[in-house]
A and B are shown apart, each in its own frame.
Chain A
Amino acid sequence: MQNATRRGHRGPRRRLPRAGLLAGALAAAISAATACGAVLRVAVAGASRRLTQTVVIFVVLGMATTAALAGLALATYPGRAFQAVSARYHAADLAVTIDAMKASGAQIAATRHLPGVTGAAGYPATTVEVTLPATPGPAGQPRLSGPMTLVGRATRAGPLDEIRQSHGRWFSRPDEIDQDELSGIRAPLGLVIPVTVTSVAGKPKLTIVGTARLAVQDPTQNAWAMPGEVTALEKAGAPRQELMLYTFRRAATVAEVEADLAELRAALPAGAIAGFGSALSSAGQATMGAGIHASSVIPYAVMALLLAAVIIASVAAAAVTAGYRRIGVLKSIGFTPAQIAASYLTQLGIPALAGALAGTVLGTRWALPYLQEARFFQVTVAVPGWITLAAPAGTLALAGLAALAPTVRAGRLPAVRAITAGQAPRAGHGHAAHRLAGRLPLPCPVTAGLAAPFTRPSRSAATLATLTIGLTAAVLAVGLSAQITKIVLSIGVAYIDRALFQRLTWLVVILAGVGVFSTLLMQAREKVHELGVYKALGMTPRQVITMVTCWAVAPAVIAAVIALPAGAALEPAVARAVVSAQAGPAENNGPLTPGPPRGAGGHARPPGRPPAARGGTVRYTRHGHEVIDASRSHQRPGDGRRPSGAQGLFAGPFALAGQHPYTAAGLALLALAGLAIALAGALGPAIWAATSRTTTALRAE
Chain B
Amino acid sequence: MDALIRLGAATKRYAATGTAALDQVSLEVAAGEAVAVMGPSGSGKSTLLNLLAGLDRPTGGTVTVAGQRVDTLSETSLARYRRRQVGMIFQFFNLLDDLTVAGNVLLPAQLAGTPRRRARSRCAELLDQLGIGRYRNTYPGRLSGGERQRVAIARSLINDPAVLLADEPTGAVDTAAGEQIGRLLLDLNAAGQTLMLVTHSPDLAARYASRTVRLLDGRIASDTADSGG
Q: What residues make up the interface of A, taking CB atoms closer than 8 Å to B?
A: 423, 425-431, 434-435, 438, 444, 451-452, 455, 529-530, 532-543, 693-695, 698, 701
Contacts and interface: CB of A to CB of B under 8 A. Distances in A.
Interface in B16-61: 50, 53, 55-56
B82 A537 contact: yes
Contacts of A438: 103
A425 B97 contact: yes
Contacts of B218: none
A396 B108 CA distance: 47
B80 A538 contact: yes
Given A426-B97, A542-B76, A698-B94, A537 B108 contact: yes
B139 A541 contact: no
A222 to B, nearest CB: 76
B107 interface: yes
B80 A540 contact: yes
Contact of A538 (B94, B103, B112): B112
Contacts of A698: 55, 90, 94
Contacts of B111: 444, 537-539, 543
Interface centre among B79, B94, B99 (most CB of A within 10 A): B79
Contacts of B88: 536-537
A543 B113 CA distance: 13
A541 B53 CA distance: 16
Interface string B116-150: 00000000000000000000000111000000000
Nearest to B83: A538
A540 B55 contact: no
The 8 A-B residue pairs with the shortest CB-CB distance, nearest first, are A538-B83, A425-B141, A540-B79, A444-B110, A538-B82, A540-B76, A537-B108, A694-B55
Interface in B88-114: 88, 90, 92, 94-100, 103, 107-108, 110-112
Given A533-B95, A537-B88, 13 more contacts: A425-B140, A427-B141, A429-B98, A431-B139, A434-B103, A452-B98, A536-B82, A538-B108, A539-B79, A539-B111, A540-B79, A543-B79, A695-B56
A541 B76 contact: yes
A289 to B, nearest CB: 55
B98 A428 contact: yes
A428 B112 CA distance: 26
Contacts of A426: 97, 141
Contacts of A430: 98
23 contacts: A423-B92, A427-B141, A429-B98, A434-B99, A435-B100, A444-B110, A451-B98, A452-B98, A455-B98, A533-B94, A533-B96, A534-B107, A535-B79, A537-B82, A537-B88, A537-B107, A538-B79, A538-B81, A538-B108, A539-B111, A540-B76, A540-B80, A543-B79
B75 interface: yes
B83 A428 contact: no
Contact of A541 (B79, B112, B155): B79
Interface residues of B, number: 32
A428 B76 contact: no
Nearest to A699: B46
B203 to A, nearest CB: 25
B15 to A, nearest CB: 12
A701 B91 CA distance: 13
A541 B75 contact: yes
A536 B55 contact: yes
A426 B80 CA distance: 29
A540 B98 contact: no
Interface centre among A452, A537, A694 (most CB of B within 10 A): A537
Nearest to B46: A695
Contacts of A543: 79, 111
Contacts of A535: 55, 79, 82
Contacts of A701: 92
Nearest to B116: A441
A431 B95 CA distance: 14
A451 B97 CA distance: 13
Nearest to A447: B110
Contacts of A444: 107, 110-111
A533 B105 CA distance: 12
A427 B98 CA distance: 9
A429 B99 CA distance: 10
Nearest to B99: A434
A540 B79 CA distance: 5
A533 B98 CA distance: 13
A439 to B, nearest CB: 10
A632 to B, nearest CB: 62
A431 to B, nearest CB: 7
Contacts of A537: 82-83, 88, 107-108, 111, 155
Contacts of B99: 434
B73 to A, nearest CB: 11
Interface string B211-228: 000000000000000000
